Amino acid sequence: MRVAVLTSGGDSAGMNAAVRAVVKQAIVRGCEAYVVREGYEGLIRGNIEAEGSSDSGAQTPPQVTRDSQGVEANLRFGYGPLLRDWEGDSTDDPTGKNLKGRYIVKVGWDDVRGWMGEGGTIIGTARCAGFRTIEGRMTAAHNLIKEGINALVVCGGDGSLTGADKLRGEWPELVAKLHQNGTITEEQANASKHLVIVGLVGSIDNDMAMTDLTIGAPTALHRICESMDNISTTASSHSRAFVIEVMGRYCGWLALMAGVCGGADFVFIPECPPEAESWEDQMCEVIKRHREVGKRKTMVIVAEGALDKNLKPIKPDYVKDILRNRLQLDTRVTTLGHTQRGGRPCAYDRILPTLQGVEAVNALLESTPETPSYMIGINENKISRIPLVEAVKQTQAIAQAINDKDFESAVKLRDPDFKESFNGFIMTSSLDPEHMLPKEKHLRIAIIQLGAPAGGMNAATRTAARYCLARGHTPLAVQNGFKGLLDDAVFPLSWLKVDSWMTRGGSELGTNRATPDADSLGDIASKFQKHRIDGLFMIGGFEAFTALLTIEEARKHYPQFHVPMIHLPATLSNNVPLTEFSLGSDTSLNALVDACDSIKQSASASRNRVFIVETQGGMCGYLATMGGLATGAVIVYTPESGINLHRLRADVKFLQRRYELDEKGKAEGRLVLKSEKASSVFTLDLMTQVFKEEGGSLFDARSASLGHTLQGGIPSPMDRARATRLSLKCMSFIEENAWAHRSLPEKGRKAKKETAAVITITGSSINFTPVTELVEHADMKNRRGINVWWADYKHLTEIMGSKDYFSGKL
């Protein structure tokens, strides 16, 4: 197959990672890879034939041709640097290569080198009116046929994917017409009977239905949160109000998540307009209450496409006037504009497009004329193939529902956590007494942070505390883990106290690794009694899991422990069994990506340097593996697979071979990621020495140990959002179980084992898994899960890093 990939519509961070993955996976699967410059515009422009050349699609022959069957034949076609540093059609490369008149470009493995960390789209994108016409699509079809391309990956928004599906639907007709009018030969017509298409959703708005996240949306949210965090300090200093306009003409995801993750006071989005007759009154009432309890800053988020319930647009300047005139707040408007689109992709926008790009090529290769065109989506943590037409239809149905003022349907059609996030935002931002429960339902809920600090711990605490206060419960903060409980360091949290905790890293309550044991359980039980604890919320890593297990087992001795207890995994190691994500792991991945981007730059500057970067993570290789995928590392060493001489020898051989095949004078810096506990024998120092020695004149080696920097500073938006969503679920869990427990006769009341649970994300579902069940999935000795979902990604990282491919040829 000849597989082409293009980017279309608005640019988004992560598009380059998608192109890179498609190109590499296409080559791995034995296909030839092409990129189309400038979206559909490039398809229509095609390749202007050089004088005297045939139009067979055979472009400049590869520079390395030692093995015409293998990867070396596809190593590079020389357009990579030109594509990357494109300065317009007039630029000539010293090698004589030129992109002038060349829009469908054959590329090899090395041509997409280093693309993962770049924002925007290197191959260009455009809005192309011509492609909306049948004539335009006919020309595009002709250009694809000339190049012998029969498979297309389109990365863009719903418009781009609609166009793609149209092209596929019309394809047989277009081929027949081109043949009839003599534009293509019979041979070409026969060879081009079918075009297969797969869509990747690249859009910062996260506006596509049937998938949780689109490529670029997480990075845009990063940019927004960075700006909000910055604005927040000045707002607080001057006690000002800020009205912040964010992108999202038809979809309020960015605005809503900005509101949740940035701790805003009010959000305006198209899907959920304020219910009150006068939204002005409603907003002022909410903000007035916030000010009355002592809040010094006010942040209101307005989506570009915000509407009131009569579909009248809500504009930032008008919101500002209301705040100024009615509340006498010194109010400023900040329009974030295109800063949201730009910049380096966050870790998620490197991993997601890589996984989806690989899946797109696999879907192309498995397509038959009968299968529908797929769009590659993600649901929670599951990459899925979704019929493209259905997803586009559902997306359009949302817009229609908004137009029809059917907001309930609009929200339902968005992904499942949209409504949850909105309700969660209201619950945690408003001081409205409407959610207050009757007194007899009030609970005292203890919140404890355990283990090493992890991004999102404080956000989870804030959410839990705010939820409790909205319902009339008492949120009890336990300082310094179980030690603090034993010292009675327990105090109620107030609404204002936790206000800025959404954005704070570390652990505001104080945390340590001490867990209950036979000696302390009795005292802990008496503290449960003393503080009248009706439910326990533990935020932490493996320690929290083992603590919960110990307390659950002690229920047979201590009736005080017969209360609902829930553990929310929070650890950068992501080593809690059965859950695919822990709070803090995304923050750490981003810290790792930031560090590795700088290291890689340094490694590349010296051309031929291999950097071995050591990561934290205990006996769990999650961080090294996913970090490897996000940074384009060539080799990953994890505690699960260990290191031995045989492996080391093969890896050295691979690196030697890889450097031999680099273009003369253009050798690359390369990254190797190693978990700190991958081996007790092959230490970072030893491996660096070995690589250095064996690299000889081909490559040099250096090391860097990232250590505690990986805890990250400010938690990532993803961790803040997850903390909010999961924390709210944990609070509902405690409420339901505590009330059910209370309703039992007091004498001999016992809590079921299901009431001591861990909230876990598995595939596309969120579960409360009894801690007793979790043990069966735990490798207690190594403090990690027995089966992990990311196990195969080490292999994938090394495929993308070319190691497996080259090793097979050695």
What DSSP designation does 662 have?
S
Count residues near ligand ATP (CB under 6 A).
18
**Which is nearest to 451 in space by CA: 563, 561, 572, 325?**
572
Is 128 near ligand ATP (CB under 6 A)? Answer: yes
Binding residues among 59-98 for ligand ATP as defined by CB under 6 A: none
CB 374 within 8 A of CB 386: yes
| Closer residue to ligand ATP in complex, CB, 250/542 | 250
Is 340 near ligand ATP (CB under 6 A)? Answer: no
Which residue(s) pair with 636 in the sheet?
673
Q: Which residue has the tokens 């924390």?
A: 727
Residue of 131, 425, 545, 699 that binds ligand ATP (CB under 6 A): 131
Is residue 204 a known part of a binding site? Answer: yes
Is 785 near ligand ATP (CB under 6 A)? Answer: no
Identity of the amino acid at 268? F
Is residue 291 a known part of a binding site? Answer: no
Residue of 46, 114, 157, 357 that binds ligand ATP (CB under 6 A): 157
Residue nearest to ligand ATP (CB): 159
Q: CB of residue 250 vs ligand ATP: minimum separation in angstroms? A: 9
| Closer residue to ligand ATP in complex, CB, 9/114 | 9
Is residue 324 a known part of a binding site? Answer: no
**Which is nearest to 34 in space by CA: 45, 24, 44, 23?**
23
Window of 2-10, 400-408, 682-690, 759-767 that interacts with ligand ATP by CB under 6 A: 2-10
**Calpha distance 660→652 (Å, rounded):** 12
Window of 109-117, 158-166, 217-225, 557-565 that interacts with ligand ATP by CB under 6 A: 158-166
Q: Judge whether 111 counts as a catalytic residue.
A: no
**Calpha distance 549→530 (Å, rounded):** 22
Is residue 136 a known part of a binding site? Answer: no
Q: CB of residue 340 vs ligand ATP: minimum separation in angstroms? A: 12
Is residue 340 a known part of a binding site? Answer: yes
Residue of 3, 4, 7, 9 that binds ligand ATP (CB under 6 A): 9
Cα separations (Å) of 150 from 175, 182, 592? Answer: 12, 20, 39
Is residue 158 a known part of a binding site? Answer: yes
Measure CA 609 to chain center: 30
78: left (phi over 0), alpha (psi -120 to 50) or beta: left
Which tokens hold the place of 562? 């017969």
Which tokens hold the place of 305? 């496409």
Residue of 32, 118, 158, 543 that binds ligand ATP (CB under 6 A): 158
Is 166 near ligand ATP (CB under 6 A)? Answer: yes
**Which is nearest to 227 in space by CA: 65, 335, 121, 308?**
335
Strands 382-387 and 635-637 turn out to be: unpaired
Is 132 near ligand ATP (CB under 6 A)? Answer: yes
Binding residues among 185-214 for ligand ATP as defined by CB under 6 A: 203, 205
Query: Angle at the Cα of 606 (from 605 to 609), degrees rounded to 5?
Result: 115
What DSSP designation does 147 have?
T
721: left (phi over 0), alpha (psi -120 to 50) or beta: alpha
- In degrees and rounded to multiples of 5, residue 544 shows phi and psi of -65, -40
Which tokens hold the place of 359? 């899946």
| Closer residue to ligand ATP in complex, CB, 62/159 | 159
**Calpha distance 36→107 (Å, rounded):** 10
Q: CB of residue 132 vs ligand ATP: minimum separation in angstroms? A: 5
Residue of 14, 78, 108, 156 that binds ligand ATP (CB under 6 A): 156
Binding residues among 263-322 for ligand ATP as defined by CB under 6 A: none
Q: CB of residue 191 vs ligand ATP: minimum separation in angstroms? A: 25
**Which is nearest to 599 in space by CA: 616, 587, 575, 615?**
615
664: left (phi over 0), alpha (psi -120 to 50) or beta: beta
Is 40 near ligand ATP (CB under 6 A)? Answer: yes
| Closer residue to ligand ATP in complex, CB, 211/573 | 211
Which tokens hold the place of 208? 């596509």
Is 342 near ligand ATP (CB under 6 A)? Answer: no
Is 10 near ligand ATP (CB under 6 A)? Answer: yes
| Closer residue to ligand ATP in complex, CB, 8/227 | 8
Is residue 571 a known part of a binding site? Answer: yes
Catalytic residue among 110, 111, 165, 205: 205
Is residue 749 a known part of a binding site? Answer: no
Is residue 725 a known part of a binding site? Answer: no
Is residue 10 a known part of a binding site? Answer: yes
Window of 75-83, 150-158, 469-477, 597-605 that interacts with ligand ATP by CB under 6 A: 150-158
Is 777 near ligand ATP (CB under 6 A)? Answer: no
Rg, C-alpha atoms of the chain:
28
Is 373 near ligand ATP (CB under 6 A)? Answer: no
Which residue(s) pair with 756 in the sheet?
565
**Calpha distance 343→17 (Å, rounded):** 13
**Calpha distance 276→426 (Å, rounded):** 14
**Calpha distance 500→474 (Å, rounded):** 19
Q: CB of residue 168 vs ligand ATP: minimum separation in angstroms? A: 11
**Calpha distance 589→624 (Å, rounded):** 9
Query: Which residues define the annotated binding site for beta-D-fructose 2,6-bisphosphate?
Result: 513, 571-575, 609, 616-618, 676, 702, 783
Query: Which residues define the annotated binding site for Mg(2+)?
Result: 158
- Residues that are catalytic: 205
Residues that bind ligand ATP (CB under 6 A): 8-10, 40, 127-128, 131-132, 156-160, 162-163, 166, 203, 205
Query: Which residues define the annotated binding site?
Result: 10, 127-128, 157-160, 203-205, 240, 247-249, 304, 332, 338-341, 513, 571-575, 609, 616-618, 676, 702, 783
Query: Which residues define the annotated binding site for substrate?
Result: 203-205, 240, 247-249, 304, 332, 338-341
